[in-house]
Structures are given as structure tokens and as C-alpha cells.
């Protein structure tokens, strides 16, 4: 019998990256629990952490390349698979043009550092205009706001929850998400500490979420109206002369005259549109301005709507005007050990440097909005997508009008997936190249240590030795690039393994270079400290690290001022011609056990009460002669689906909620546990032509729908 081994690493199934203690015996997991010595998560763990074992041992997880022959799959050698894929890419781009091959990068890519270090060079080698990712299905508006205001898309201010006294949270649910673009493990304990020192949490959301239920106050808001609320808060700050810019004053060249931009958006003018009383809006503004340590924060709910870009910009402006940006207890930029945004660094982002071929939506950071993928496949002409590569994603379930994308994937000349499941998207692939699982490779949290509520650093060594000729994601990218380069006569030098790249980043990073810091960091030092190293609390530094050309913060970039006209026009229309809303507004919903569709193949995460039903307020049900538990049809402009409805007084009147990621009972899906689950895909009724006009980001919230009893 082999001795029991203890391993320490992070859970990479959500952004909280909680530290884990994993015990193994004979290369098998025998226990997973929270690591009490992890300086960031402090022993906290949610149900997803233990589910890592389910993914590792999942019999449906692919462990060798698979080639589709009709409706069947057969295993092939890596060499055969690599050669087939490289030939298809080169042939398609040679026959048509480079844009004839499209690429989609799913959310799990940012949770695997090999995908980050080697996936980007692979995309650059393809040099296709048609690059997409889950970014434009989620957080693009926030990254875009930081790009325009601070000069860099990753110079993102993080809520300093451990020191704040008033927290206004809009469209976020960290009791479930554990933070989003804000790595905040053990949010419940941090919130309890905030309230214990007399602080307040105020939540604004169309649903009384898990976070709203533990908040000091909760306000229902009409989906898609957050921008009106935020502009009314800004209006109040000017109207009541409550602007407190503090040390940022000399960095705001166009503060004078800004009040005129928000003159129309008084709390009284937007109250009916938002569903929030004017006095409550004014009180939010007063608290944000008068409380010494306050935060305004919004996430997914304010991003995936028709004014996502404006809403994210407005939140940053509010924190600036209230003196809550770049101060302790407000919002602060982090000091990660690798990937620190340095003063004047080239503002990685780039807006509208290219446009989509059919709908002319703008690019951001080299990517087009994922909302246009289907039309770029289905619309003939120069630049039409003929071949497609999906990497660790399931856009058939996660992108708007998924049914249209599902049909589009059927008509491609070829499709390749780098994934270890045959899911609703990858079932269309001709070849699937499966990487090793999370626990079979080492890892460094490049992305989420940049957004952590406290500066820490940790390196994760492999826990389970991969069997046979399994390949890591970075090895797959390296091999594909080498073969494409050989066929196209391009010079190519394989990239080193990610751990070596991290070692270089650690040795040349902030903590190894700045005098008085914690001391030189290296891969060896992190391996010698498997629980991680505490690098200290967040601290003010934004002004000295601005990446704008003039080193200042332009509060009123032209793109936002133009889009403000769209918001103003809707406000004026509502005043001139007030109308009763006849339809229902659809929003999404997240569960702590269900943040990605592929987690539905873990029995421990799907067991218990079903979580796929439509939530509706009892009075809305009564008006439609619906009863609890009945089958209903949800009809939108693009499609209709049937599901079960449940009465919930946690819903705002006129709003219904259906979670994403379900709908696994489809032909060809090879997910034994997930395929047993009921439910439909909410994104079969979301609209790929309903998006934020400024950023092109998908608008999943506020989709107009009708709900009727099935069969009527």
C-alpha cells in the first residue's frame, strides 16, 4: 500500500480560487477539504471544490483524441489528429482567406494557465479576424470602461470589502459567485465582519438573491434600467454639491461641465423607469459621498444588458466623484506577483479597430462580440467562417440564440474542439483534442490573483499523474503551431512550458524588484510554500500607474457621451409617451453548484432539489392562470421553450428568471449525469440581435418574453 500524500492547491472552478488540501493514495483522491493555512481563502470551500474529484474520475471525460465518423466517435493517435487539424486549418485559409477560420475561447481558459500562455500565440498565428470569447458574453463592458478611463483593460479597481463601511452592490451575487472580477473567497465571513463594525450592504437586483437576503437593504430594479439609476446617483452628487474627488482632483481635467451631461437624469425622472423611489436613490448617493469608506460595485447583472457599457462606466465615475477610488475601504487596484499593470503600459484593449462583417459590431482587445458568431457562419461572402475551433467552451448553451448557433455549426466545412467532453457544442466537431484535467497539471492563477481582495501568491503542483500519452493544453497548442508553421513555411520556436514563464515573471516582478517588499519571489520559493504567501493588503497606487497617454482620467470619453444620447432619448420617450409594459422581462440566475454547464455532469453538484425551473412572482402567475409546478411556454422574438414554473416572491413583479447552462438532453451529447437532468437552455430564447449597442456585449438580462401555459 502506498503512503497517503497531501497536496495543496487552488480550486479553479470559479474565480474565488479557494485553497484546497487534497489527500491521495495510489494516485487516487481520498479527500478534499479547505486549506486553513491559505492566506486568501482561510479554509473556506464551497461544494464545487470537492467536485474536482468527480471531474477527475468522470468516465465521460475524454483521455485521447476522438474523430467523429457520422454519428459515432473513434479514438485516433495524437499524430493523426494533429496532422488532420493542421491540414484543415491551412487548407481552409489558403482556399478562402485567414478569416475563414473562426476561434472561440470559453470561460475555463482563464482558469488554466497553459491556455493563457499558449492559447494567445496560437490565435495570433491564425491571424483571423473572427476571434471570439466568453468575455463578450459577460464582463467586456467593465474591461472596456477601465481601458477608456485608466488606459488599460486590466487596471480594474477591486472592492476593499475588509475595510469599507457602506457597500452599494448592483447586479452581483457574491454569496453564490464568490466574487466576479473580484476574487473574494469566504464572502459570508467578510460581509459579517463589515456588518459587525456597523457597516451596511445595500443590494439592487430584480431578484431577492442569496446576497440580497443577508444585506441590510434590498431594492428591486427593472432589468436593463441600471444605467438610469446610476446616472441619477451622479445627478444627485452634482445637484447636492456632494462631489468629493480628494487626491484625484488634479487627475480629472474635464470635471467642470460634467454636471450638464447628467442634468436630465434626476431621481424623480428615472424613478418609474427603474422601479426605485427617488428618495431612495438620493439616499444611495448621499451615503456613497458622506461615508468615509464606501464602495459602488456592479458585475454580471449590469454588464449583460442593453446599457452594459454605460453602466460600468457610470460605476467607475461614481466612485471617482465620491472619493472612493484608490483609497482604503473604497476600490483599489491590486499588486499581483505576475502580471502587474505598470505605469504607462500599453493599454491592452483596443476598441473598434475592426468590425464584424455582417452586423458591423466593434472589436475589443482583438476579439469580435460572440453574438455574431452564428451570422458570420451562415451569411455567404468573403470572410464567411468555414472552419471553427472551440477551446474549452460550450457556446451552444452559453451564447444568445444558441439554437441558431447550433444549426450554424452543422454546416461548417470542419470543426475542431480542444475539450475533454462531448457536449452540446463539441458534438459538432470532427476532431476533439482533450487536454489533461485540472488536477493532472500544475497551475498558477494568472488571471484571478490580479483581482484578489488581498495580494497573495501561490503555485499549484500536479496532484494526479496523468496516464498514457495524455497532453496538457499548452502542449496541444505548441504542437498545432509547429505543424501549421511547417506547412506555411513560417519560422516557429516552441514556447517553453508555463511554469518556466511564471518563474521568469516572479523573478522580474513587482515583489522581486521593489526595495522594501517581501523579498525575491521565484518558482522554487512558491513550491517551498505550498499554502501560498501573503503579500499584504491592497493599497492606493492607481494614480501612479495610470496608462492613459496624458496620465490623467478622462471622465467623459466621446464614445460614452454619444451613447448617453441613446439613454437620454429613451428617458425622454418614457416621459412623453409613458406606456404600460405588457411583456415580462427575462433574467438569468446562478447557483453556487452550477456556474458552468459541464459541472452538471457531477452527481454531487446536481443532486437535491432541481434548479432549472422558471421563477415567477405569484401575482404574475395568477394573472396568467398559472399554478405552481405547471408546464409553461416561454416565447421570445427568436424562439420558444417549455419548462416548469415555480412561484417565488423573491422575484420582482414583471420579471422572470431562468438559469443558464441547462438543456442537455440532445442527440449526441455524451454526458451521462447531465443528460439525465431536465431543464431547457435559456439561451434558446435570448436574442443574438439584442445587445449593448456600444460594446456589442450580449444582453441576456431584460429580454422581452411572454409566458403562457403550455398547449395554449
HEC readout, 364-412:
ECCECCHHHHHHHHHCCCCCCCCEEEEECCCHHHHCCCHHHHHHHHHCC
**Closest C-alpha to 586, from 243, 375, 304, 324:** 304
Does 271 score more than 90 pLDDT?
yes
**Closest C-alpha to 22, from 51, 61, 63:** 51
Banded pLDDT at 465 (limits 50, 70, 90): very high
d(Cα 532, Cα 543) in Å, to the nearest integer? 29
Does 520 score more than 90 pLDDT?
no
* Dihedral angle, C-alpha 647, 649, 655, 656, nearest 10 °: -30
Output the nine-digit C-alpha cell for 154.
Answer: 486590466
225: part of which helix (H) or strand (E)? none
Which of 1-5, 378-382, 564-568 has the least mean pLDDT? 1-5
Q: Cell 503579500: give the residue.
A: 535
Output the nine-digit C-alpha cell for 689.
Answer: 440581435
**Residue 94 neighbours by CB distance under 10 Å:** 12
Helix axes 473-488, 78-95, angle to 10 degrees: 50
pLDDT of residue 591: 87
**Residue 601 neighbours by CB distance under 10 Å:** 27
Helix (H, G, I), strand (E, B) or coil at 524: helix
- Looking at the chain, the whole-number percentage of residues with pLDDT higher than 90 is 92
Q: Is the four-CA dihedral 660, 661, 666, 667 of positive or negative sign?
A: positive
d(Cα 473, Cα 108) in Å, to the nearest integer? 12
What backbone torsions phi and psi does residue 432 show, to the nearest 5 degrees? -120, 125
CA dist 160 → 216, 542, 707 (Å): 18, 14, 41
The better pLDDT of the pair 597, 175 is held by 175
Any bridge partners for residue 24, and if so which? 5, 29
Does 32 score more than 70 pLDDT?
yes
- 8 A C-beta contact, residue 693 and residue 409: no
pLDDT of residue 345: 86
CA dist 684 → 125, 355, 494, 680, 702 (Å): 33, 25, 41, 8, 15
514: part of which helix (H) or strand (E)? none
d(Cα 283, Cα 200) in Å, to the nearest integer? 13
Cα angle 303-308-312, degrees, rounded to a multiple of 5: 80
d(Cα 374, Cα 404) in Å, to the nearest integer? 6
Does 577 score more than 70 pLDDT?
no
CATH T-level topology, domain 66-138+344-536: Rossmann fold (3.40.50)
pLDDT of residue 712: 65
- 8 A C-beta contact, residue 63 and residue 75: no
Q: Cell 513550491: give the residue.
A: 527
- 8 A C-beta contact, residue 134 and residue 358: no
527: part of which helix (H) or strand (E)? helix 523-527
Banded pLDDT at 578 (limits 50, 70, 90): low
CATH T-level topology, domain 157-332+546-563: Dimethylsulfoxide Reductase; domain 2 (3.40.228)
Q: Cell 464614445: give the residue.
A: 559
Banded pLDDT at 305 (limits 50, 70, 90): very high
Specify whether domain 5-57 bears CATH 3.10.180.10.
no
| 326-345: average pLDDT | 95
pLDDT of residue 580: 63
List the domain boundaries for the chain. 5-57, 66-138+344-536, 157-332+546-563, 581-709
pLDDT of residue 575: 76
Q: Bin 223: left if φ > 0, else alpha if -120 < ψ < 50, else beta.
A: beta
Which of 190-194, 353-357, 511-515, 555-559 has the least mean pLDDT? 511-515
Taking the model in full, what pTM does it have? 0.96
Cα angle 306-310-314, degrees, rounded to a multiple of 5: 140
Please write the tens of the pLDDT for every residue from 482-518: 999 999 999 999 999 999 999 999 999 999 877 667 7
d(Cα 130, Cα 123) in Å, to the nearest integer? 10
Cα of 601 vs its chain's centroid, Å: 21
Please write the tens of the pLDDT for every residue from 416-428: 999 999 999 999 9
Banded pLDDT at 348 (limits 50, 70, 90): low
Calculate the average pLDDT of the chain: 95
Q: What would be the CATH architecture of the domain defined by 581-709? A: Beta Barrel (2.40)
203: part of which helix (H) or strand (E)? strand 200-204
pLDDT of residue 256: 85
pLDDT of residue 1: 55
Q: Cell 477527475: give the residue.
A: 56
pLDDT of residue 47: 87
Please write the tens of the pLDDT for every residue from 679-697: 999 999 999 999 999 999 9
Does 10 score more than 90 pLDDT?
yes
Which of 72-81, 99-108, 174-183, 233-242 has the least mean pLDDT? 174-183
| 247-271: average pLDDT | 94
Does 171 score more than 80 pLDDT?
yes
CA dist 275 → 211, 236, 692, 700 (Å): 20, 17, 21, 20
**Closest C-alpha to 571, from 205, 306, 274:** 274
Helix (H, G, I), strand (E, B) or coil at 349: coil
d(Cα 476, Cα 394) in Å, to the nearest integer? 19
pLDDT of residue 401: 97
| DSSP class of 340 | P
Amino acid at each position: 500500500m502506498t503512503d497517503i500524500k497531501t497536496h495543496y492547491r487552488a480550486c479553479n472552478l470559479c474565480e474565488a480560487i479557494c485553497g484546497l488540501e487534497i489527500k491521495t493514495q495510489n494516485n487516487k483522491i481520498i479527500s478534499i477539504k479547505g486549506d486553513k493555512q491559505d492566506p486568501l481563502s482561510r479554509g473556506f470551500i464551497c461544494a464545487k471544490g470537492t467536485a474536482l474529484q468527480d471531474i477527475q474520475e468522470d468516465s465521460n471525460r475524454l483521455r485521447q483524441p476522438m474523430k467523429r465518423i457520422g454519428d459515432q466517435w473513434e479514438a485516433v493517435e495524437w499524430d493523426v489528429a494533429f496532422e488532420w487539424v493542421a491540414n484543415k486549418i491551412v487548407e481552409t485559409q489558403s482556399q478562402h482567406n485567414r478569416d475563414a477560420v473562426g476561434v472561440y475561447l470559453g470561460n475555463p481558459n482563464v482558469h488554466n494557465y497553459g491556455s493563457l500562455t499558449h492559447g494567445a500565440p496560437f490565435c495570433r498565428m491564425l491571424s483571423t479576424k473572427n476571434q471570439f470569447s466568453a468575455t463578450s458574453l459577460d464582463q467586456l463592458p467593465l474591461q472596456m470602461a477601465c481601458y477608456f478611463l485608466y488606459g488599460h483593460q486590466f487596471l480594474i479597481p477591486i472592492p476593499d470589502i475588509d475595510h469599507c463601511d457602506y457597500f452599494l452592490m448592483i447586479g452581483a451575487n457574491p454569496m453564490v459567485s464568490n466574487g466576479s472580477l473580484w476574487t473574494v473567497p469566504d464572502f459570508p465571513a467578510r460581509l459579517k465582519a463589515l456588518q459587525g463594525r456597523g457597516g451596511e450592504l445595500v443590494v439592487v437586483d430584480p431578484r431577492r438573491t442569496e446576497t440580497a437576503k443577508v444585506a441590510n437593504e434590498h431594492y428591486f430594479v427593472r432589468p436593463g434600467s441600471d444605467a438610469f439609476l446610476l446616472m441619477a446617483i451622479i445627478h444627485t452628487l452634482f445637484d447636492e454639491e456632494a462631489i468629493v474627488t480628494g487626491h484625484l482632483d488634479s487627475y480629472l481635467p474635464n470635471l467642470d461641465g460634467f454636471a450638464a451631461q447628467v442634468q436630465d437624469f434626476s431621481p424623480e425622472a428615472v424613478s418609474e423607469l427603474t422601479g426605485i423611489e427617488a428618495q431612495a436613490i438620493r439616499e444611495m448617493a448621499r451615503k456613497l459621498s458622506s461615508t468615509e469608506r464606501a464602495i459602488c460595485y456592479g458585475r454580471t447583472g449590469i454588464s449583460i444588458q442593453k446599457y452594459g457599457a454605460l453602466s460600468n462606466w457610470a460605476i467607475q465615475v461614481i466612485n471617482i466623484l465620491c472619493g472612493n477610488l484608490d483609497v482604503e475601504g473604497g476600490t483599489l487596484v491590486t499588486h499581483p506577483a505576475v502580471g502587474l499593470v505598470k505605469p504607462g503600459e500599453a493599454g491592452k484593449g483596443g476598441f473598434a479597430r475592426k468590425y464584424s462583417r455582417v452586423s458591423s459590431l466593434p472589436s475589443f482587445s482583438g476579439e469580435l462580440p460572440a453574438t455574431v458568431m452564428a451570422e458570420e457562419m451562415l451569411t455567404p461572402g468573403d470572410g464567411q467562417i468555414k472552419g471553427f475551433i472551440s477551446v474549452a467552451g460550450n457556446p451552444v448553451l452559453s451564447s444568445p440564440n444558441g439554437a441558431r448557433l447550433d444549426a450554424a455549426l452543422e454546416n461548417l466545412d470542419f470543426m475542431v474542439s480542444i475539450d475533454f467532453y462531448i457536449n452540446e457544442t463539441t458534438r459538432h466537431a470532427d476532431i476533439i483534442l482533450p487536454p489533461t484535467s485540472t488536477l493532472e497539471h500544475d497551475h498558477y492563477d494568472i488571471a484571478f490573483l490580479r483581482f484578489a481582495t488581498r495580494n497573495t501568491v501561490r503555485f499549484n503542483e500536479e496532484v494526479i499523474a496523468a496516464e498514457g500519452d495524455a497532453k496538457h493544453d499548452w502542449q496541444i497548442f505548441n504542437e498545432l503551431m509547429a505543424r501549421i508553421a511547417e506547412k506555411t513555411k513560417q519560422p516557429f520556436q516552441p514556447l517553453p512550458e508555463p511554469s518556466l514563464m511564471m518563474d521568469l515573471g516572479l523573478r522580474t516582478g513587482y515583489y522581486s524588484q521593489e526595495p522594501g517588499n517581501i523579498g525575491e519571489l521565484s518558482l522554487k520559493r512558491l513550491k517551498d510554500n505550498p499554502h501560498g504567501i501573503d503579500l499584504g493588503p491592497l493599497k492606493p497606487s492607481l494614480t501612479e500607474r495610470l496608462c492613459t497617454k496624458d496620465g490623467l482620467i478622462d471622465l467623459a470619453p466621446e464614445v460614452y457621451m454619444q451613447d448617453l444620447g441613446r439613454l437620454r432619448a429613451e428617458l425622454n420617450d418614457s416621459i412623453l409617451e409613458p406606456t404600460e409594459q405588457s411583456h415580462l422581462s427575462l433574467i438569468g440566475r446562478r447557483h453556487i453548484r452550477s456556474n458552468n454547464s459541464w459541472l452538471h455532469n457531477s452527481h454531487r453538484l446536481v443532486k437535491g432539489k432541481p434548479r432549472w425551473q422558471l421563477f415567477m412572482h405569484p401575482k404574475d402567475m395568477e394573472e396568467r392562470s398559472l399554478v405552481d409546478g405547471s408546464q409553461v411556454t416561454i416565447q421570445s422574438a427568436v424562439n420558444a421553450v417549455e419548462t416548469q414554473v415555480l412561484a417565488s416572491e423573491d422575484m420582482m413583479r414583471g420579471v422572470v428568471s431562468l438559469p443558464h447552462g441547462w438543456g442537455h438532453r440532445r442527440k449526441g451529447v455524451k454526458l451521462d449525469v447531465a443528460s439525465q437532468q431536465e431543464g431547457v437552455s435559456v439561451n434558446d430564447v435570448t436574442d443574438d440581435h439584442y445587445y449593448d449597442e456600444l460594446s456589442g456585449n450580449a444582453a441576456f438580462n431584460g429580454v422581452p418574453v411572454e409566458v403562457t401555459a403550455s398547449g395554449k
